[in-house]
Amino acid sequence: MKRGLLPAKAALPPGLDVRSATILREIVEEYVASGEPVGSRTLARKLGQPLSSATIRTVMASLTEAGLLFSPHTSAGRLPTEKGLRLFVDGLLQFGSLSEDEQKVIGHSLEARGRSLQDTLVEASSLLAGMSDAAGLVVAPKGEGAIKHIEFVALGSNRALVILMGADGHVENRVIETPVGMPPSALVEAANYLNARAMGASLPDLRTRVSAEMKEDRTALDSLAAEVVESGLAIWNGGRGESGGTLIVRGQSRLLADVDGQERLAAIQTLFDRLEAQETMLRLLELVDTSQGVRIFIGAESGLFGATGMSVVMAPARNEANRIVGAIGVIGPTRINYGRVVPVVDYTARILGELMGSTG
């Protein structure tokens, strides 16, 4: 299908005229579709008049000199460099849109319906992988949301189970030691005391409140119940609410589909190793922290994966208070279909933010 030149009045990336912008656009879109170098004859057939193969070769040479294209083999066609991809994404990319049916599929797939938050995050990651034909990423900070309820359950042998339920549906359990001879009523008293002060607070906030009251001796707890409260809060020190979180990756096998050669395989393995690192998850959250929408990182731009030839498309999931409750995205080769991936990531992030925010 012949498309011709870009409109004369089209907004063009800096430094490009209509002909060079048109040719860069066609090369990138052909590269996204096939992964193969694009030659002047192919472009001439697609563009038709008034551009001849000779004119196209001249423009391609200029784009190569500018660092926007490169030739992988002698006398071969051209491929976009990461710089060329960035110029395309910033100024020439036409985003697609999701159909109503696709929006319904995303909304229906992520509906909680009694499912745990963890299962919902896994489903979101799998959904992104399937709709983008790449690997889906979902990042959720650990335990920074509001507390819904705290409960103590006696286990016998001077032990009790502490159950902490978050407003986001997340549940965590810990076992604590209890004072010798403690009556069951002390556990009830401790739970009532904490629940009365939680009132939607995060765990660090609750810990601060209780600590301040105990230091000022303003609690109405008896000594045994106070000991249980301190133990119940201390058991999460360095854990929930302090650091860490959840990074879920699905569809990793899709990253291996077009891999050929040991060097490329080693680069993918490095990527997998970095995805398992805690600092990667925290860095992904930092990348979207100041963003209101989708961000595209090409190649080494994210500072996460080095020169692995990968692109990351990320968006923050925000609740009704505009607070980031997570981040979602897609990671794939630099020739992922950006026009398709961006609206998928954007809509899924909004739905996930609403779901997580409605329980937070």
SS (H, E, C) the chain: CCCCCCCCCCCCCCCCCHHHHHHHHHHHHHHHHHCCCECHHHHHHHHCCCCCHHHHHHHHHHHHHCCCEECCCCCCCEEECHHHHHHHHHHCCCCCCCCHHHHHHHHHHHCCCCCCHHHHHHHHHHHHHHHHCCEEEEEEECCCCCEEEEEEEEEECCEEEEEEEECCCCEEEEEEECCCCCCHHHHHHHHHHHHHHHCCCCHHHHHHHHHHHHHCCCCCCCHHHHHHHHHHHHCCCCCCCCCCEEEEEECHHHHHCCCCCHHHHHHHHHHHHHHCCHHHHHHHHHHHHCCCCCEEEEHHHHCCCCCCCEEEEEEEEECCCCCEEEEEEEEEECCCCHHHHHHHHHHHHHHHHHHHHHCC
**Mean pLDDT along residues 135-139:** 89
Give tens-digit pLDDT for 149-202: 899 888 877 888 888 887 766 677 778 888 888 888 889 998 898 888 887 787
Give tens-digit pLDDT for 208-256: 888 888 877 766 677 878 888 888 777 665 444 444 567 888 888 888 7
Identify whether the C-beta of residue 174 lies closer than 8 Å to the C-beta of residue 186. Answer: no
Q: pLDDT band at 117, cuts 50/70/90? A: confident
Its pTM stands at: 0.71
- 50-59, 202-211, 315-324 — which one is most confidently predicted on average? 50-59
Q: Which residue has the higher pLDDT, 110 or 68?
A: 68
Task: Work out whether strand 295-298 and strand 147-156 pair parallel, antiparallel, or are unpaired.
Answer: unpaired
